[in-house]
Structure 1
Amino acid sequence: MNTRTKILSAIGLGAAAALALSACSPPGSSNASDTVDNGDKQAMKMVVFNGWDEDTAASELWKYVLEKKGYDVELDYADPAPAYQGLAQGDYDAVLDTWLPNTHKAYMDKYGDDLEDLGSWNDQASLELTVNADAPIDSLADLAAHKDDFGGRIVGIEPGAGETKIVKEKVMKAYGLDDWELVTSSTPAMLSELKKSEKDGKDIVVTLWRPHWAYNAFDVKDLEDPKNALGDNESIHTIVNEDFGDDFPQALKWLQAFKMDSDTLYSLEDALVNSGADQSEYQSIVEKWVADNEDYVDSLTASK
């Protein structure tokens, strides 16, 4: 075999191998030959809010997608206050769960000069005070008169959450609930109490938000808010540090174009949070979910 023939043969074998690898790639993924120019950096650190399941779902999905494109993505779970501080200082590159214009307004007012808003990916978000479906009231205006039914307690989430601040400073004052107790600990603890109350047939009021898988899992209703103390419906935004566009120019374009409706989000949230798995197993769950949602996942990186 002459030299030219050997070269052509090697090229042919390489092409065949590449095709074989491509055929074995999972849906929504990209093999190494499809990776993009990621800019100056490949290592990306995203911060995820503790207890915010929509943030867990969106962040774990983007970790999967970006790593298939050649990035190395680390997810760090934290409360909002240190998350925004770290983002502004450059310790984190992005957060996918900023609720505007109300819930996280104080953090954006404080750190916004060092951050960039890439726009909203879900416009169906709202803060809620939620009760069991057969509770004796339908409105926050009637809550004070039913203190005994609910034990004078509102079961909340993390003390540093934006919703906690709004409920404490606005909702409780607006509806004469100053003598009520706002119990704060964590989102899992709140959901545990909600589950127990449903099992025991007892009335409970909790701080909740849409979109959330709890609306599929429990028989609950949101209380009307005639004084609009919880604020209007919100949008969920992707926020990055000021250097993100220089460090990750292609990822910037993809995240700017990112959209996810609530039904799709519920599906992924439910698959992750109610799987019984710990965080170390989330990527394998995402991979299975991607296989059932291939067209949607492929669309996330369709923009150039």
Structure 2
Amino acid sequence: MFKRNWKRLGLIAGLSLSLFAAGCSSDNDSSSDEGSSEAGKEINLAYVTWDTEIASTNVVGKVLEDLGYDVKLTALDNSIMWEAVANGEADAMVAAWLPATHGSQFEQYGDQMEQLGPNLEGAKIGLVVPSYMDVDSIEDLSDEAGKKITGIEPGAGVVATSEQALEDYENLEDWEVVTSSSGAMATALGEAYENEEEIIVTGWSPHWKFAKYDLKYLEDPKGTFGGAETIETMVRKGLKDDLPEAYQVLDNFFWTPEDLESVMLDISEGMNEEEAAAKWVEENPDKVAEWTKGIE
């Protein structure tokens, strides 16, 4: 199975990436050396630990693994993910939310890597509340949820945009965005929803929470959160020459929000993320064939 690296930023003598933890291949590794002339070669996929990116990166990793690659999945903080691909520490990511969510990272690092285009269209970010709450617009917020927005990791694009909303909307002047993690946000949302309590979270879609709960985005009349976004694939410069077949898979990778949400929902309901990815790959051979067309 996949080898996992966990890296963080070390603030010693400038920016550097250091190994946080590593996993080992399982004894029942199902990858083979057949199906690709590049079998056995290592490829490192970076991702941020959002539910969307956990699902998509594991699916792409599974496809590459089945072609015989030694796949490493490296979880990073958002900005470090971009830096890792830019400087070649990682080979690729399928986790770039553009144009708004990762706009600042794209501006800083985009010209240092290759942009392969969208792998999913129709993504969105914003403030999300349970449908039972009697508020429909950010402008209508007054003192709901203790004037707190439950966020995810500091540095995430949706968190930065939510903090900008506090400045853009006069009625949010004395509100705060409370950062935590994607998992903690989802847990808080679930607990509040079960008790029909007020809660406002930093939200994005696709996400399994929309399949599990009756939720709604708050209208954003000032346009702080932007419109529809795409999730794009970015690779390090030189990957096409070094691993042309892997490059082809990454370039061809494209699926729907429904595809992504099905994997996320399986994971949220307790399935191991690698198992959920393998299940989707097994159940969608036609789409996988489109990504791997011509690779023998």
The TM-score with structure 2 as length reference comes to 0.85
CA distance in 1: counterparts of 2:88 and 2:35, whole angstroms: 29
CA distance in 2: counterparts of 1:293 and 1:207, whole angstroms: 31
Shift of the alpha carbon at 1:297? Answer: 2.4
Asked whether the 8 Å contact 1:100–1:235 carries over to 2, the reply is yes
CA distance in 2: counterparts of 1:196 and 1:53, whole angstroms: 18
* Greater Cα shift, 227-236 or 244-253: 244-253
Structure of higher CA gyration radius: 1
Question: Which of residues 89, 99, 102 is equivalent to 1:101?
Answer: 99
Unaligned runs of 5+ in 2: 1-29
Aligned CA-pair RMSD: 1.8
Unaligned runs of 5+ in 1: 1-28
CA distance in 2: counterparts of 1:208 and 1:303, whole angstroms: 38
The structure whose residues are more often strand, as a share, is 2
Which residue pairs with 2:259 in the alignment?
264
Which residue pairs with 1:302 in the alignment?
293
Which residue pairs with 1:293 in the alignment?
284
CA distance in 1: counterparts of 2:197 and 2:273, whole angstroms: 33
Q: Which has the higher contact order (CA 8 A, sep 6+)?
A: 1
Query: Within 5 A, what are the aligned runs for 1:1-304?
Result: 32-37=33-38, 42-50=41-49, 52-143=50-141, 146-147=142-143, 149-169=144-164, 171-176=165-170, 177-275=172-270, 277=271, 281-302=272-293
Write the letter of the residue equivalent to 2:35: D
Asked whether the 8 Å contact 2:31–2:66 carries over to 1, the reply is yes
Helix, strand or coil at the partner of 2:119? strand
Shift of the alpha carbon at 1:259? Answer: 1.0
- Deviation string 1:73-94 (CA, Å, 9 cap, x unpaired) is 1001111111112221211111
Asked whether the 8 Å contact 1:271–1:289 carries over to 2, the reply is no
Counting aligned pairs with the same residue, the percent is 34
Describe the shift of the 1:122–1:285 C-alpha distance in structure 2 as closer, same or farther (beyond 3 A): closer
Describe the shift of the 1:271–1:303 C-alpha distance in structure 2 as closer, same or farther (beyond 3 A): farther
Asked whether the 8 Å contact 2:166–2:173 carries over to 1, the reply is yes
The structure whose residues are more often helix, as a share, is 1
